Amino acid sequence: MKKAFALLCFLLFTVSAWADNGYDLWLHYSKVTGTKLLRQYRSQIVSPLILGTSPTIQKVREEFRKAITVLLDNTTTSLEPSQTRTVFMVGVAAAAPHFTNAVTAAELKTAGSEGYIIKSKPGQTYITANTDIGVLYGMFHYLRLLQTHQDITHLNIVTAPKLQLRLLNHWDNLNRTVERGYAGCSIWDWHKLPGYIDQRYIDYARANASIGINGTVLNNVNANATILTAPYLQKVKALADVFRPYGIKVYLTARFSSPIEIGGLKTADPLNGEVQQFWNNKAKEIYELIPDFGGFLVKANSEGQPGPQDYHRTHADGANMLATALEPYHGVVIWRAFVYAAENPVDRHKQAYDDFAPLDEKFKSNVLVQVKNGAIDFMPREPFHPLFGAMPNTPLMMEFQITQEYTGQGTSLVYLAPLFKETLESDTYCKGKGSTVAKIIDGTLEGHHISGMAGISNIGSDMNWCGHPFAQANWYAYGRLCWDHELSSDTIAEEWLRMTFGNENKFIATAKAMMLQSRETMVEYMNPMGLHHIMGTGNHYGPAPWVSDQKRPEWNPVYYHKADSAGIGFDRTATGSNALAQYFPPVQQQWNDMKTCDEKYLLWFHHVPWTFITKSGRSLWNELCYHYYHGAENVKAMQQTWNSLQAYVDAEQFSHVKQLLAIQYDEAVWWRNACLLYFQTFSKMPIPAGYEAPAKTLAYYKSLRFPFAPGN
């Protein structure tokens, strides 16, 4: 009996060890398959010489050994020079004369401070850069080539990041809850810091470095001033020390009222001398502990947060006060443009533009204004924010949401790269055709010396970091687009699939097609044709287009869809709020006429009659029905697609996604039925024949409550 029990324990452990729980993310190294490919790799990677002893080069050495041991099934790879004629050399270009012969001065100039060069031909491979961190990025790129089974015999790669600041914004609270988090609690265990360094911190840094992310904002934009007190700064220092070898700087969200809450002052007025001295002293304290501290992120005068307008000052006054404190240490201030006020009756779409556009040229040179991709709030689809192009003298930093607050939260497979790309490729026409959002944020359009992108993190304490296995792809895609916003959604999806699940071509082609369609599917069953902000109150979970009892008008879905007996949609033309006037004329022309407006934005900009004939020939009501039903059916098709891939996927991962897709289908039907039943009370039109009738009543859907939904 004891032997049987011992055998059972062994088998259970073995199954658990074999199962892929998703912890390794896209750094899931597995043995290269295919004799020819394996032979090529083994012949090319012989006795690599990794030059240098810095902490970053040590991480290069560790990662390379870890990866190659598995990828090439080789536990004997030496990282010391050998007598072989094969050359495999890694290091900073200035470290050895060999690099001088392999790369040119022009290539090193192109690489800059963070880029890298990878060159190879039979018998020779060089991975080099101007800095240690560039070498680390180059090594991860090389390993990505191996993971995705690329030919490595004739490489000639010279690359540098298009954006300087490539940040994750954590909306993590000090009590370890995560606002809009759907993957467990915060990974920052503040109570145990600084004494205990969790291995997750190191693996977090590895994952970010592998995709070029170079900064992390540790705490929520709805900040707690306690993070700036001495005991917590010691904890922040401990994290900064872990991240530094991976090229990652730490940033903190600074609560504007900190001089009052932790400084003993009676005011936080940015023009007050004592307040200014408080921030000067705080900056000095931080940089003495963390010499490479990145700077402050600030949410001010929005959704009840304190800010300079409390003292009749401008956002520029507040940002410049902090920028002055950080300037001696080369720190930056990232000031969020997400502002709206209950007492302001103007269309919420217009408020950030109205507040910030007049302040162009008034910010100090170390201030970036961080602008959401759209003017409302990370909707499943939004037209680009009108501030892009409206502040040519101010560096604007993109803010995307990686966590899926409005895109299915923790239960939905929604690949967000197409959303990111849709915004980045949007043409503002601010300097004529081709003035894309991407060229504005990377600084090339206006010649700004500083640039950046921020992504609201989807990372939590769940074993697989992101809750939904496919949510990892959004973290990965964000990082890759930070480095090179010209990469396609298709390319990024294929990289992630190959690195995460393996290189079987049939699996890749099928799963990639599903991913690329997933965002459009979700838009159809949630917010088709430009509908927006019709989700549940507070938790933002599920449909609730009927909500009208919130104390702030812009918190009510009815404020946005404006359904009535005549039609549906928000008129933002000259006959309505005139938000369209904030865009440049060629953009206005695209969206100004409901007869020619791109239908994906139709209800965003127009109040449209129910009988309006759409481009399909269907009435608006029938077109809405089509999209809602088509979206739900597409989720069913996703289920069938995933089931067809079972043979190619680890059993644990397969089961996890399969169960979540079943939930997603139920939620798609819920969105479809609840929204159409509600809007039908205004249209008075039947759901077209041939569509499945809703199984529940509108009263049922209105009765649903979710007081403990995650992410609040």
Domain 19-159 class? Answer: alpha beta
The mean-pLDDT minimum among 12-16, 352-356, 693-697 falls in 12-16
- 523-570+607-703 classified as CATH 3.90.1330.10: yes
Residue 183 reports pLDDT greater than 50: yes
> Measured between alpha carbons, how far is 557 from 272 in angstroms, rounded to an integer?
40
> Measured between alpha carbons, how far is 670 from 665 in angstroms, rounded to an integer?
9
> Measured between alpha carbons, how far is 39 from 627 in angstroms, rounded to an integer?
51
Q: What share of the chain is helix, strand, coil (3-state, %, to 5)?
A: 45, 10, 45
Burial of 312 by CB count in 10 Å (0-12 exposed, 13-18 middle, 19+ buried)? Answer: exposed
Same CATH fold assignment for domains 19-159 and 165-500 = no
Residue pointed to by tokens 């005139």: 578
- Could you tell me how far CA 264 lies from the centroid of its own chain? 37
CB 228 within 8 A of CB 258: yes
Q: CA triplet 364, 369, 375: central angle to 5 degrees?
A: 150
Say what the alpha-carbon torsion angle 135, 136, 138, 143 is, to the nearest 10 degrees: 140
SS3 238: helix
Q: Provide mean pLDDT across the span 89-107.
A: 94
Name every residue whose Cβ is closer than 8 Å to that of residue 105 and which is 6 or more positions away in sequence. none
The mean-pLDDT minimum among 8-12, 111-115, 259-263, 445-449 falls in 8-12
pLDDT-derived band at 46, boundaries 50, 70, 90: confident
What percentage of the chain exceeds 70 in pLDDT? 96
pLDDT-derived band at 6, boundaries 50, 70, 90: very low
The mean-pLDDT minimum among 73-87, 113-127, 649-663 falls in 73-87
The mean-pLDDT minimum among 65-74, 179-188, 277-286, 315-324 falls in 65-74
Catalytic option among 377, 446, 504, 520: 377
pLDDT-derived band at 31, boundaries 50, 70, 90: very high
Q: Please give the pLDDT value at position 123.
A: 87
SS3 223: coil
Q: Provide mean pLDDT across the span 568-582.
A: 98
The mean-pLDDT minimum among 85-94, 170-179, 344-353 falls in 85-94
Catalytic option among 172, 347, 405, 442: 405
Residue 14 reports pLDDT greater than 60: no
pLDDT-derived band at 712, boundaries 50, 70, 90: confident
The mean-pLDDT minimum among 81-90, 252-261, 364-373, 601-610 falls in 81-90
Using the 8-state DSSP alphabet, how is residue 337 labeled? -
Residue 519 reports pLDDT greater than 80: yes
343 carries an active-site annotation? no
Catalytic option among 203, 261, 303, 354: 303
Say what the alpha-carbon torsion angle 524, 526, 532, 536 is, to the nearest 10 degrees: 180
Q: Provide mean pLDDT across the span 628-656.
A: 97
Q: Provide mean pLDDT across the span 440-467.
A: 98
Q: What CATH number has the domain spanning 165-500?
A: 3.20.20.80
Mean pLDDT in the chain? Answer: 95
Q: Please give the pLDDT value at position 11.
A: 37
Name every residue whose Cβ is closer than 8 Å to that of residue 166 and which is 6 or more positions away in sequence. 212, 213, 214, 215, 452, 453, 479, 482, 483
pLDDT, tens digit (0-9, with 9 covering 90-100), for 297-306: 999 999 999 9
Q: Please give the pLDDT value at position 372.
A: 98
Q: How far apart are the first and last CA of the chain?
A: 50
> What are the DSSP calls for 627-683, one per residue?
HHHHHHHHHHHHHHHHHTTGGGS-HHHHHHHHHHHHHHHHHHHHHHHHHHHHHHHHH
> Measured between alpha carbons, how far is 359 from 339 in angstroms, rounded to an integer?
14
Paired strand residues for 367: 333
Q: Provide mean pLDDT across the span 492-515.
A: 98
261 carries an active-site annotation? no
Name every residue whose Cβ is closer than 8 Å to that of residue 484 and which is 6 or more positions away in sequence. 159, 161, 162
Q: Please give the pLDDT value at position 1.
A: 46
216: left (phi over 0), alpha (psi -120 to 50) or beta: beta
In order of 490, 678, 693, 704, the CA distances from 697 in angstroms are 40, 10, 10, 12
> What are the DSSP calls for 163-180, one per residue?
-SEEEEE--B-TTS-BTT
Q: Provide mean pLDDT across the span 156-160.
A: 98
What percentage of the chain exceeds 90 in pLDDT? 92
Three-state secondary structure of 338-358:
CCCCCCCCCCHHHHHHHHHHH
Burial letters for 659-686: b for 16+ Cβ neighbours within 10 Å, e otherwise? ebbeebbebbbbbbbbbbbbbbebbebe
What does pTM read for this prediction? 0.96
The half-sphere exposure of 511 on its side-chain side, counting CA atoms within 13 A, is 29
The mean-pLDDT minimum among 2-16, 155-169, 358-372 falls in 2-16
CB 149 within 8 A of CB 167: no
Q: Please give the pLDDT value at position 85.
A: 57
Q: Please give the pLDDT value at position 75.
A: 53
Q: Please give the pLDDT value at position 4.
A: 45
> Measured between alpha carbons, how far is 305 from 120 in angstroms, rounded to an integer?
54
Q: CA triplet 271, 274, 278: central angle to 5 degrees?
A: 105
Residue 17 reports pLDDT greater than 50: no
Residue 495 reports pLDDT greater than 60: yes
405 carries an active-site annotation? yes
Domain locations along the chain? 19-159, 165-500, 523-570+607-703
DSSP E strands in 164-302: the ranges are 165-169, 215-217, 249-253, 295-298
Q: Please give the pLDDT value at position 344.
A: 85
